[in-house]
Amino acid sequence: RNMDVEASLENYFDQTIAGSSDYIFEGDLGLQGPAPRLQDSSFLSSLTSQEKDLTEDLDLSFLPDELGTQDEPSQAENLSRNEDSGIYTDCPPRESTEADTDTSNSAQNASQFNLPMTPMTPMTPMTPVAESSGIIPQLQNIVSTVNLACPLNLKSIALQARNAEYNPKRFAAVIMRIREPRTTALIFSSGKMVCTGAKSEEQSRLAARKYARVVQKLGFPAKFLDFKIQNVVGSCDVCFPIRLEGLVLTHQQFSSYEPELFPGLIYRMVKPRIVLLIFVSGKVVLTGAKERSEIYEAFENIYPILKGFRKQ
Amino acid sequence: MPSSCPECGSSNVVEDDLYSQRQWVCVDCGSVVSEGHLTTTVSDETQGRAVPYHASTEVLKKPCRNLIAGFSRVRALCRILRLSSDMESAVVSLFERAYNHPNFIFVTLTKKEILGGCCVLSVCRQCNWPVAMGTIGYLLGVDNATLGTVYREFTKALNIEISTIGIMDMLESFCYDFKLGPQQVEEVFAEPPQRLVDRTSALIELAADAWIVTGRQPLPLLFAAVYLAWQSLNPTVRMKYTFVKFCKIGKAPEQSWHRSRDSVVKRLKELRDVLCKLGRELPWLRGGTVEPNTVVPLVDDILKNHRALLLRAVRNYEQQLQNESQTAQTTECDNELSDSNRSESHSSTTPELMDPDQAGCENPADKQATDCQLPPDHWSKRHLFLPPCVKNRKRQRVDAPQLEVTGDEEISDSEIESYIRSQDEIEMYLKVQKELKKMA
């Protein structure tokens, strides 16, 4: 069984973007890591391709016509290439409901060029569209991986660290925990690390950096390569009971409801590719996302379906 | 052992095997003096081994012993569940497919047994005669979780579409399991199966409306419903028999209900509570008390008029809520006073509609056994009937305050050092480890 868990954890690493070292860490670690490959055009295109998936779902009709030529909302790097539009745009905060729901007003908004001017970095979470449901899923767990890029002596780590567990007969990794952000890390002898338990992407990154620092202080030349968020888990409450038996009948291609095995209904949404656990109490757990926007989108997709099964 | 060569007469004869055939050869002239016999009978073979199938040129593989044993086990399962011969043959062929599938050919024997159960489960669902996983589970001696894992693997590997079954589908086969025919038990206990099915079905429909069914294990609920149905069909005589006694009368196999006894008791309580809530609405009772242990004789009336009663109960509850919110607004400062007034008017003409749990929530003074900790303005207060998991929330969920970080903060050395052992600690740890090893 150990093998299965290890194999599935290792799978995380198979999917890292080839050749992209997004968060190469030089400052804190005081190391001379490989120079950031910003000049590498493939790195930039990989970034923009990530953003493209996001933007396909964004309604940008409110943007003024002059910006219509730009494919994606800005990134600092992208803008340095476009000499003409020295404009930074952000997905404007969605407090203004007219922008999305009423397209006739889009012309109005377009003429008023009052968009906030903040640069958007790739990891900035998108503000969720709250008008349709009024409920925003809370993030509960973030799983991320990072490559420390040096072989590690797990016995030595377990001996020198206060917060480490190592039981090679049960599992071939050191289990380390830190208090803030409250997280757990699995550190493998290959130098790869999995960090779980954080409540936001930034917390996960901070925690992973702290673990890397601990490993460094224990005498290993740890780097911080290929940091990637692998899974985002969110949950929320729709505040009404749900007829799961009805839902599984109408959405049988996506749903699996076996009360003898699990009390919740397992809904596998295709777009975005998210798995939702829906319970009779109205609580919903969403998992399998690589970004928090997928969680928000999935919930907005499921909410009208669930409302249909609200029984008075 | 020949000593001299017949050809040249020399006595220099040595043993020089040709491959694995013993030969005695003359060194001088090279002639073979004598040779060992290649054996011709099987009994002479001392180092013989049967050639395994994969190394032979055999075309048709004989079914292995475990597969044959699996077939007989699967057939036995089908006979116990009284499946038709068509279904039995479908199960057998499905089992053969599954057994020889690369994912399952090398698994443990226990898993192969469970695989047989999964085949039965799958065919039963396809033929619209669904069997509960719990039933297969107790027949095989495994728990639902193990069965479920194998079942999921099995449907994935063989690309079988899982059709969902509802509790109502399982009802008929479940009721027929109880031996309550007029020839099998005493007159007062006997119940024709169809009557039992109808009554149980009505009870479960009611339970479903009251949110007791969704998300729960179906078997304990089926047991509870059948028991109540049986009691309600002749309450004067049958009220005094407990659930366990009923199972013994109906000769239900002990393994099937023994494990879920506690759940059955809980479901019985929930069912009786729902019946009480509705029973109170019966107009001819004129607001008399309806208690869980005396509600069974009323079941007949309740079921006959269940829709009207449901409407009345919900409407009255909403009315009650409205009245309460009005009194709460007008007598804000006298909150405690009005609470005590309400508890005094318990025995008044208006039937007590509030869920005892919710009453506990509003009067923090009287601690209920359920210890519900819902905030006073929780959405569940607006509903009379709710899934029990919403009303009985035992622990208040505490959301930890969100840490606002950018991920790029400076990490202090002191914090990192707090996670690292000092040299003394390490030495002490190693010392203790050595001592423990010496002791072990």
Q: Hey, are the CB atoms on B405 and A138 less than 8 Å from each other? A: no
Query: Residue B347 gets which letter from DSSP?
Result: G
Q: How far apart are CA B315 and CA B328, in angstroms?
A: 20
Q: Is B250 on the interface with A (CB under 8 A)?
A: no
Q: Which residues pair with B70 in a beta bridge?
A: none
Q: How far apart are CA A47 and CA A22, in angstroms?
A: 9
Count of C-beta atoms within a 10 Å radius of residue B254: 12
Q: How far apart are CA A80 and CA B251, in angstroms?
A: 82
Q: How far apart are CA A204 and CA A224, in angstroms?
A: 13
Instruction: Decide the pairing of beta strands B13-15 and A225-237.
Output: unpaired
Q: Hey, are the CB atoms on B144 and A261 less than 8 Å from each other? A: yes
Q: What is the mean pLDDT of chain B?
A: 81
Verify cis geometry, omega within 30 degrees of 0, for the bond prior to A181: yes
Q: Can you list the residues of chain A whose pLDDT is less than 70? A: 1-131, 311-312
In chain A, which residues have their Cβ closer than 8 Å to the Cβ of B420?
Answer: 160-162, 214, 217-218
Summarize pLDDT for B104-117 with one digit per residue, the tens.
888 898 999 999 99
Q: State the average pLDDT over residues B131-150.
A: 90
- Decide: helix, strand or coil at residue A138: strand
B163, B159, B81, B77: which is closest to B113 by C-alpha? B77
Chain B: residue nearest A239 by CA? B379
User: Are the CB atoms for A166 and A175 separated by under 8 Å?
Assistant: yes
Query: Residue A84 gets which letter from DSSP?
Result: S
Summarize pLDDT for B148-169 with one digit per residue, the tens.
999 999 998 998 888 888 888 8
Summarize pLDDT for B36-59 with one digit per residue, the tens.
776 667 676 677 777 777 777 777
Q: What is the pLDDT of residue A127?
A: 58
In chain B, which residues have their Cβ closer than 8 Å to the Cβ of A161?
Answer: 419-421
- What is the nearest CA distance from B15 to chain A, expressed in angstroms? 55
Which residues in chain B (31-70) have CB-CB distances under 8 A to chain A? none
In this complex, the residue of A160, A181, A280 whose CB is nearest that of residue B403 is: A181
Count of C-beta atoms within a 10 Å radius of residue A227: 24
Sheet with strand A192-198: strands edge to edge: A164-166, A173-178, A183-188, A192-198, A138-147, A225-237, A283-289, A274-278, A265-269, A255-256
B6 exposure class (CB count in 10 Å sphere: 0-12, 13-18, 19+): exposed
Q: What is the pLDDT of residue B309?
A: 86
Percent of chain B with pLDDT over 70: 85
Chain B: residue nearest A243 by CA? B214
CA distances from B47 to A94, A172, B239 (A): 84, 45, 76
Among B405, B412, B427, the strongest candidate for a mutation testing the A interface, having the largest count of A CBs within 10 A, is: B405
CA distances from B344 to B280, B286, B338, B339, B352 (A): 19, 20, 10, 9, 11
Verify cis geometry, omega within 30 degrees of 0, for the bond prior to A272: yes
A-B CB pairs within 8 A amount to: 122
B286 exposure class (CB count in 10 Å sphere: 0-12, 13-18, 19+): exposed
Count of C-beta atoms within a 10 Å radius of residue A19: 10
Among B133, B152, B164, B372, the strongest candidate for a mutation testing the A interface, having the largest count of A CBs within 10 A, is: B164
In chain A, which residues have their Cβ closer than 8 Å to the Cβ of B133?
Answer: 258, 260-261
ipTM of the complex model: 0.74
Q: What is the pLDDT of residue A214?
A: 95
- Per-residue pLDDT band at B432 (split at 50, 70, 90): very high
φ/ψ (deg, to 5) at A185: -125, 145
User: Are the CB atoms for B298 and B232 separated by under 8 Å?
Assistant: no
Instruction: Decide the pairing of beta strands A183-188 and B23-26.
Output: unpaired
Q: What is the pLDDT of residue B202?
A: 92
Least confident of B70-79, B201-210, B265-274, B367-376: B367-376
Q: Hey, are the CB atoms on A203 and B415 less than 8 Å from each other? A: no
Q: How far apart are CA B136 and CA A4, in angstroms?
A: 27
A280, A293, A186: which is closest to A234 by C-alpha? A293
Residue A196 host element (H or E)? strand A192-198
In chain B, which residues have their Cβ closer than 8 Å to the Cβ of A259?
Answer: 167, 214-218
Chain B: residue nearest A278 by CA? B215
Q: How far apart are CA A91 and CA A72, in angstroms?
A: 10
Chain B: residue nearest A277 by CA? B215
Q: What is the pLDDT of residue A124?
A: 47
Summarize pLDDT for B384-422 with one digit per residue, the tens.
888 888 887 777 667 667 778 888 888 889 999 999 999
In chain B, which residues have their Cβ closer than 8 Å to the Cβ of A204?
Answer: 407
